Amino acid sequence: MFRLQGSPEERLRVATEFKNALEALPESIEVLKSIEVGLNQNPAEDWDVVLTAVVPTMADVAVYAKHPAHVAAAALLGSHKEMRGCVDYEF
């Protein structure tokens, strides 16, 4: 999850660019089996973006995180990223 800073318009613009970049990643990152990205629609909530990325193994989390396409997508948040929350789990 990501909480962004800036005006509501800025946050929505950055979140949308980030979402579009993330949704293109399965084409570039072999270990990334799927990704789902949601933008907050409820102004009463504090978080702006949530994502679920599916990789085969916990070791693949690092492959995904370090992949240049993922690094470039994450860079789109720039100075707008206020907070990040993450949970890595197996199912």
Which residues does the chain have with pLDDT short of 50?
Answer: none
Q: What is the pLDDT of residue 80?
A: 96
pTM of this structure: 0.94
DSSP letter for each residue of 17-83: HHHHHHHTGGGT-TT--EEEEEE---TTSS--EEEEEE-SSHHHHHHHHHSHHHHHHHHTTGGGEEE
Summarised one tens digit per residue, pLDDT across range 19-36 is 999 999 999 999 999 999
Contact of 61 with 17, CB cutoff 8 Å: no
CA-CA distance, 39 to 3, in Å (whole number)? 11
